[in-house]
């Protein structure tokens, strides 16, 4: 999973154009995936993260690929700007200092581990994104979260909390999937 600089620029422009389109129409940018290279037509899961002055302003995505990459980016850029329930909809005045980050995810693979220590020993800081699944609880951290939580123990602890679990929680029904992401 590697994109050319031109493909990365196209994805960045689609994200921005979708946000601009949303400001004026209330809908994501319509994109015909066949107008783009094959790499941008493949079904890929993405997250689009918005920051203003290095502070989170929105983040929306999916863990399962179900749309061509260009469509997924257009949809999630619009959703991050206008539908993240943690934030009010983006206003045009916020565009000047808005930064857009796109994460294109690999397919998640189930991890095999015998204990919490075994799980932690298998993690690759800065590389792995994780999906935690427990009965009634699910959460994910993108690989970029390692920048703020560089120690595997902290990364894992905060992921459990994000899922609504206690920091001591451990069970035999716990599932963890690992993925990587190309940052754009």
Residue matched to tokens 């999937």: 177
Instruction: List, for residues 150-170, the tens digit of each pLDDT value.
Output: 999 999 999 999 999 999 999
pTM for the full model? 0.88
When pLDDT is averaged across residues 5-21 and rounded to a whole number, the result is 97
Q: What is the pLDDT of residue 2?
A: 86
The pLDDT assigned to 1 comes to 63
In 4-49, where does DSSP find H-type helix? 5-25, 38-41
Given a contact cutoff of 8 angstroms between Cβ atoms, the answer to whether 84 and 60 are in contact is yes
Give 149: exposed, middle or buried? Use CB within 10 Å, 0-12, 13-18, 19+: middle
Give me the residue label for tokens 């990364």. 155
Task: Please name each of the domains of the chain with its CATH number.
Answer: 5-105 (3.30.700.20), 109-183 (3.30.1490.150)
- 3-state secondary structure at position 42: coil
């Amino acid at each position: 999973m590697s994109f050319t600089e031109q493909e990365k620029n196209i994805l960045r422009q689609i994200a921005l154009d979708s946000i601009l389109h949303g400001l004026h129409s209330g809908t994501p940018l319509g994109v015909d995936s066949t107008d783009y290279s094959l790499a941008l037509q493949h079904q890929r899961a993405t997250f689009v993260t918005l920051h203003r002055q290095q502070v989170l302003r929105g983040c929306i995505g999916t863990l399962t690929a179900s749309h061509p990459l260009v469509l997924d980016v257009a949809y999630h850029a619009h959703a991050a700007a206008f539908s993240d329930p943690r934030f009010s909809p983006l206003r045009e005045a916020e565009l000047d200092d808005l930064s857009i980050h796109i994460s294109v995810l690999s397919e998640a693979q189930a991890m095999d581990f015998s204990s919490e220590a075994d799980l932690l020993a298998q993690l690759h800081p800065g590389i792995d994104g994780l999906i935690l699944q427990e009965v009634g609880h699910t959460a994910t951290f993108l690989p970029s979260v390692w920048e703020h939580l560089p120690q595997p123990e902290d990364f894992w602890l905060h992921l459990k909390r994000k899922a609504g679990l206690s920091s001591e929680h451990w069970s035999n029904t716990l599932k963890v999937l690992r993925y990587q992401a190309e940052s754009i």
